[in-house]
Every structure is written in C-alpha cells, then in structure tokens.
Structure 1
Amino acid sequence: MTNKVNITTDGGADVARVSNALSLTIKSWRKSKKLSLDELSRRAGISKGMLVEVEKGTANPSIAILCKLAAALGLSVAELVNVTRAPAAFLIDSDDMPVLWRGEQGGSAQLLAGTRGPDMIELWRWTMFPGEIFTSAGHPEGTAELLHVEQGELTLKVADTELCVVQGASAVARTDAAHQYANDGNHMLIFTMCVAERHG
C-alpha cells in the first residue's frame, strides 16, 4: 500500500503544465496580497523552501500542500491549477483536468471542476488499484465531502470512524479531521467526490 500524495502524472508535459500554472498563480496572488515568502509560508504552514520551489515551478507538491496554499491565499485548489474561469457558465476540456495524485499501482485523483474563491466546491474522480491508499491530515474546519462509489469498494476512515462504501452506495464525511481512502478489495475502485469548503 502507499500513502504517496505527490503529483506524479505519467507524462512530463502534464506535470510541467500543472507546475507552471501553480508557479504563476501563487506568485501573482502572493504579490497582489503583499505577502512575503516568509509570511505566506507561515500562514500556509509549509516550509519557505517548499514555497520557493513551488513558485519556481520545480516542486511536486502534494494535494495537502495545495490545499494549505489555497486556504492561505483565499483561493480554491481549482484556481491554483487553473481549472476555473470567470464566466457564469463554461466548459472544461478533458485535457484541462489535472491529475493531482498517482498511486504506486497507477491509481489517480483527477480534479474535474471547481468553483472560485475560498468558499469552494470541487468535483474529483478517483481510481485506486488494490492496496492503494491516500491519507490526509485534514482540511480547514467545516469541510465536507460527498463520495459515490461507481465500481469496487472504498474503505473510508475519518477520525475514529471507518466505513465500507460498496458499489452504488454513497457517503458523507466531515473531512476537517484526519482521513483516508483505501482500496482494501481485490478489484479496481472508482469513485467520484464532491468537496465543499467554507471559510470564515
């Protein structure tokens, strides 16, 4: 099993595209808010060295780090990786949906769409092969996730609660606590997830 959470997509071009989007967006928003590297790293709870690498476009940050940076800047993860636009309605091409996690067996977490701002909603599609696991320390207070299993069986742990979400079933979870998703079964797991996060 793996708890690897770095962005490790198959194609180098895909990684470079996400890294470049992060670099430009974070640097631009940090300067617009008149935040030093030290101050943003303090607010986000990440090292200054990691922030410097992200702004240079050479880092491979985890989903957890992206969430911390987004919260510190008052943005959504979708805005950080440019999966959101200003119009009232818009399309997102499949090529513009970044994979932000890869499991050791080839599983993935793809950000399909997301709204703007700190009070955000995101739509994800996860695939996990048997034995793969994703662990998170928790999101900002009040964050909720809606999960629906399309195929396989999801083992969902949130704080001291463990649920087995079978094919066709759904779950609701407060994920401001430590949580994890795992495929403890023998078949591929596919689930969709909606994340709602409110600030202030």
Structure 2
Amino acid sequence: MTRSIARGVRDARKDRGWSLEALSARSGVSKGMLVHVEQARANPSINTLCRLADALGTTLSRLVEPVELPPVRTVRAGEGACLWRSAHSAGRGVLLVGSEPSSSLEMWDWTMYKGDSYGGESHLPGTRETVHVLQGSLRIEVHGEATVLHRGDSAVFAADHTHTYSHTGDGKLHFVLAVAQPATTARATGSG
C-alpha cells in the first residue's frame, strides 16, 4: 500500500506542476515527510493523507488506489486499505472503496475495542460524514457536541470541524462510515 500512496501523491503533485515545497505549504505536511511518503519509506496517518488529498484537490481513495481503474471496481472482503490501527487493540479503519473526484465519496469499515478513539481533523468545507453502527456503541464528538449511537443507529454531520470517534462500551464496536466531499470544493482547492 505504501507504494500506491507514494505513486498517488507524487503523480498528483507532478500533474499540478508543484514542487515538494509548494505541496508542503498547501498541506501543512513537512517537506521531509513528503519525501518519505513519495519514496514509500513512510506509512502516513489518515490525517496526513487527508491533508494531502485536500491540498491536491483529490480524494483520499485516489491517493491510495492504483492509477488505472477498471470500469467496475470490486473490492473483495479483506482487500480494503487499512489506514488506521489502534495502538492497543485490534481496532482498525479500512477504506473499502472511493469514487473519483467528481463525486468524492468514500466508504469505510471501522472496528474498535474498549478504549479506542480516533480524532479526525477538519475536512474541506461542505464535507459530510454519515455513520451507521452495526455492533456496539459509538461516541461521536463534533465541534464540542457529543452523541452516542448504538447498534442500528445512524448519524450524519458536517465534517468540516474536528471530530472524534470513540468506543464507549465493552467488546467490539463495528460501524460503517461514508465521507462525501463536494466536488466543487475539491476542484477549487486543487486549482489554488
């Protein structure tokens, strides 16, 4: 996966005619980290990848998937890109599939265990996240307001604020997440 990310970031940067310094300034990611990412010597965090995708005006899935995509992309069980792992459990966040920048939609499969938490940075203006809990209880905090969802509950929120996902109970938490970013926002960011 680090090779796909390296190629995706490097190709997107070069397509725009940007230097490493320019991408660093636009994304807030250090030039040193960019060098490591583009040389496939680093496994960047989701937050770093999101900042790079936002700065490049593309989707996260476009940075981690192969450049040439078939007319129908099928992601079989276990083939998604695992972009978050808990430091103390088997928790993980897997990008299942994402669409092209014109529609900017990503589908995620998340698993967390007691004590797991993930803090997401603000996405581009107009970005919305939709979550559906399959098992357990999920605490979402967005812009200082907390909501707890239980099995079968769903929620949608503006993800252009910092937000946190936390497991609030015992056992396993399993939820699916869709991230929808307005295509006009992505294009505007990529051109500036």
- For 1:153-168, list aligned pairs within 5 A: 153-168=137-152
Contact 1:83 1:92 in 2 (8 A): no
User: Which one of the candidate residues 88, 105, 127 is aligned to 2:89?
Assistant: 105
Shift of 1:68: 1.0
1:93 is matched with: 76
AA aligned opposite 1:28: D
1:25 aligns with 2:25: no
Is 1:172 the counterpart of 2:156? The answer is: yes
Deviation of 1:146 (Å): 0.6
Correspondent of 2:171 among 165, 187, 190:
187
TM-score w.r.t. structure 1 length? Answer: 0.86
Question: Cα RMSD (Å) of the superposition?
Answer: 1.6
In the other structure, the counterpart of 2:32 is 49
| Letter paired with 2:83 | L
Distance 1:96 1:185 in 2: 28
- The AA in structure 1 aligned to 2:13 is R
- AA aligned to 2:12 is W
Q: CA deviation at 1:86?
A: 4.2
Deviating above 4 A after TM superposition, structure 1's stretches of 4 or more consecutive aligned residues are 83-88
1:83 touches 1:113 (CA, 8 Å); kept in 2? no
Give the total of aligned pairs. 183
Deviations 1:101-142 (A, max 9, x none): 001211000011100116400000100001100012211111
Percent identity of paired positions between Structure 1 and Structure 2: 36
Distance 1:81 1:163 in 2: 31
Question: Residues 113 and 97 (structure 1 numbering): CA distance in 2 closer, same or farther, change over 3 Å?
Answer: same
CA contact (8 A) 1:78 1:84 kept: no
- Say whether the 8 Å CA contact 2:4–2:66 is kept in structure 1: no
Amino acid at match of 1:56: Q
Q: Decide whether aligned partners of structure 1 residues 186 and 19 sit closer, same or farther in structure 2, where only a CA change above 3 A counts.
A: same
CA positional deviation for 1:153: 0.2
* Distance change in 2, residues 1:84/1:175 (3 Å): farther
CA distances 1:8-44 after superposition (whole Å, capped 9, x unpaired): xxxxxxxxxx111011121122112110000011111
- With over 3 angstroms needed to count, the CA separation of the structure-2 counterparts of 1:179 and 1:83, relative to structure 1, is farther
Q: Which letter does structure 2 place at the counterpart of 1:40?
A: L
TM-score by length of 2: 0.90
- The gaps in structure 2 that reach 5 residues or longer are none
Gaps of 5+ in 1: 1-17
Greater alpha carbon shift after TM alignment, 133-142 vs 106-115: 133-142
